[in-house]
Amino acid sequence: MRKNSIKENNHAPDTLTIFDDLQEANDKLDAIIENSFDGIYITNANATTIKINRAYETITGLKRSEVLGYNMRDLLKRNVISVSGSLLAIQKRQPITLHQKFKTGKQALITSCPVFDKDNNINMVVTNVRDLTEIYTLKEEVARNNLLSSRKEIENIKKSLSITKEMICVDSNSLSVLSLANKVAPLDTTVILFGETGVGKGLFANYIYQNSRRKSMPFIKVNCGAISPTLIESELFGYEKGAFTGANRDGKIGLFEAAHKGTIFLDEIGELPLNMQVKLLRVLQEQEIERIGSTVPIPVDVRIIAATNRNLEEMVKEKAFRQDLYYRLMVFPITIPPLRERSDDIIPLLNLFRDNFNTKYGFHKNFSSSALQIIQEYSCPGNIRELKNIVERSMIISDDNEISCEDLPFLHMEHKSAVPFVLPHEATNLKKVLEQIELSYINDAYAKYGNVRTAAESLGMDPSTFVRKRKKFH
- Give, in degrees to the nearest 5, the angle at Cα 182 between 179 and 184: 115
Identical topology for domains 162-337 and 340-413: no
CA distances from 297 to 199, 275, 292, 293 (A): 37, 18, 11, 11
- The pLDDT score that the predictor gives to residue 17 is 66
State the fold for domain 340-413. Answer: Helicase, Ruva Protein; domain 3 (1.10.8)
- Please report, for the chain, the start and end positions of each structural domain, with discontinuous segments joined by +: 1-35, 36-131, 162-337, 340-413, 430-473
Query: Residue 297's Cα: distance from chain center in Å?
Result: 49
- Per the CB < 8 A criterion, the answer to whether 405 and 374 are in contact is yes
Give the single-character DSSP code of 287: S
Return d(Cα 184, Cα 214) in angstroms, integer: 13
pTM of the entire structure? Answer: 0.57
Specify the CATH number of the domain 36-131: 3.30.450.20
User: How far is residue 357's CA from residue 168's CA, in Å, rounded to a whole number?
Assistant: 17
- Encode the chain (474 residues) as per-residue pLDDT tens digits: 444 444 445 555 566 666 666 777 778 888 888 888 889 999 999 999 999 999 899 889 999 999 999 999 999 999 999 999 999 999 999 998 888 889 988 888 888 999 999 889 999 999 999 877 666 666 666 666 665 555 555 555 555 555 566 688 888 889 889 989 999 999 999 999 999 999 999 999 999 999 999 999 999 999 998 988 888 998 999 888 866 666 666 778 899 999 999 999 999 999 999 999 999 999 999 999 999 888 899 999 999 999 999 999 999 999 999 999 999 999 999 999 999 999 889 999 999 999 999 999 999 999 988 888 888 888 888 899 999 999 999 999 898 899 988 788 767 544 343 444 455 555 456 677 777 778 878 877 777 666 777 778 777 788 778 888 877 766
CA proximity to 305, closest of 185, 182, 386: 185
At residue 177, what is the residue type?
V
Asked whether the beta carbons of 459 and 442 are under 8 A apart, the reply is yes
Please state the φ and ψ torsions of residue 279, each to the nearest 5 degrees. -70, -35
Other beta carbons within 10 Å of 85? 25
Closest to 83 (Cα-Cα) out of 61, 116, 110: 110
Q: Are 53 and 33 in contact (CB under 8 A)?
A: yes
For 111, the enclosing helix (H) or strand (E) is strand 107-116
Q: 162-337 has which fold?
A: Rossmann fold (3.40.50)
Q: What is the distance between the alpha carbons of residues 72 and 347, in angstroms, rounded to a whole number? A: 38
Alpha carbon 221 to its chain centroid, in Å, reads 27
Q: Give the separation between CA 88 and CA 193, rounded to whole angstroms.
A: 52
